[in-house]
Structure 1
Amino acid sequence: MTEPLDAVDERILALLGADARMTNAALAAQLGVAPSTAHSRMRSLVDRGVVTGFHAAADQTALGRGLQAVIGVTLRPGARHESIRAFTHHARRLPEVLQVFFVGGSDDFLVHIAVADSSAVRRFVVERMSAHASVASTRTSIIFEYHRNGLAADFD
């Protein structure tokens, strides 16, 4: 089990969540500790697997992909393990896909995409999702607005 986080650890995570490019000196100043302390605390969070990476957030609109959607995907019954693996491999390598969630409930997967427009959503669902051999059905929800509080590490 991972060592519990204290108030300094939680503050480091909050500061880096707001600005992952923050320098060690700026982190130390915000924490009110010596730079060597900030560095060792940060190193400890990485070594313990609490901090798993530093990420750049891209503006999808600036990339020409201003429309986002979540597609609920239900797989066909039978050979579930193989279908799950095949679909996961397929979905994760598609350039439109931002995130893939394997979930419990009425859907087997939620696939978060970013594309140029509604025609691209339709093409993606018809050609990339529904055409996959293991897909039984899809449900598409257009995202109007969202807020991300943080990033989760991969489950793999």
Structure 2
Amino acid sequence: MADELDPIDTKILTLLSRDARMSNAAIASTVGIAASTAHTRIKSLFDRGLITGYHAALNQAKLGRGLQAIIGVSLRPGARQESIQAFTEEIRRLPEVIQLFFVGGGDDFLVHIAVENSSKVRLFVVDHLSARHSVASTNTSMIFEYHRNAVATDFA
């Protein structure tokens, strides 16, 4: 799919990934095309599945969840498929969870959470992760600063 992108489509995607609320007129002006052409190209990018939606960025601190952490989770061997599916379905529904990644490497999952304070991180790990029979170990890293270049979409 990437080879089907011309320079104008690439510029449009870059602009929208930086500011999804950018107006069609502003996109057209920045890229150097007519507004109607920009509209047609953006619709085509949607139709081709290159744009999958627009997302609101929430200020977790103002929501009372100013501490974020990434928790690496390793599952116990045995019945892995059932453990992976159950873990995914249950953990992703928890309100503290911002993102859940199923990964290869030392961990099976990376769980990105936002909570009020370090006591809530501990409570999350103890109550929702370590208490699960399928979880062998966890490794918590606090997030001090975060920079986002793009919003990832679900893998197909």
* Range with bigger deviation, 2-11 or 120-129: 2-11
Q: CA deviation at 1:2?
A: 6.3
Task: Report matched runs for 1:47-126 at 5 Å.
Answer: 47-126=47-126
Inter-partner Cα distance in structure 2 for 1:97 and 1:124: 10
Inter-partner Cα distance in structure 2 for 1:90 and 1:133: 13
Contact 2:68-2:115 at 8 Å conserved across structures: yes
TM-score normalised over the length of structure 2? 0.96
Dislocated runs of 4+, deviation >4 Å: none
Q: Which blocks of at least 5 consecutive residues in structure 2 are unaligned?
A: none
* Range with bigger deviation, 105-114 or 24-33: 24-33
Inter-partner Cα distance in structure 2 for 1:7 and 1:64: 42
| Partner residue, 1:155 | 155
Q: CA deviation at 1:3?
A: 5.5
Contact 2:18-2:149 at 8 Å conserved across structures: no
Q: CA deviation at 1:133?
A: 2.4
- Residue type of the alignment partner of 2:80: R
State the secondary structure of the residue aligned to 1:138: strand
Contact 1:2-1:48 at 8 Å conserved across structures: no
Aligned residues with identical type, % of pairs: 66
Contact 1:73-1:110 at 8 Å conserved across structures: yes
Q: Which blocks of at least 5 consecutive residues in structure 1 are unaligned?
A: none
TM-score normalised over the length of structure 1? 0.96
Inter-partner Cα distance in structure 1 for 2:36 and 2:106: 50
Inter-partner Cα distance in structure 1 for 2:133 and 2:79: 12
Inter-partner Cα distance in structure 2 for 1:130 and 1:139: 11
CA RMSD of aligned residues (A): 1.2
**Count of paired positions:** 156
| Partner deviation per Cα, 1:5-61 (whole Å, 9 max, x = no partner) | 111111101111121011211211111111110001101110110001111100111
- Residue type of the alignment partner of 2:91: A
- Residue type of the alignment partner of 2:56: A
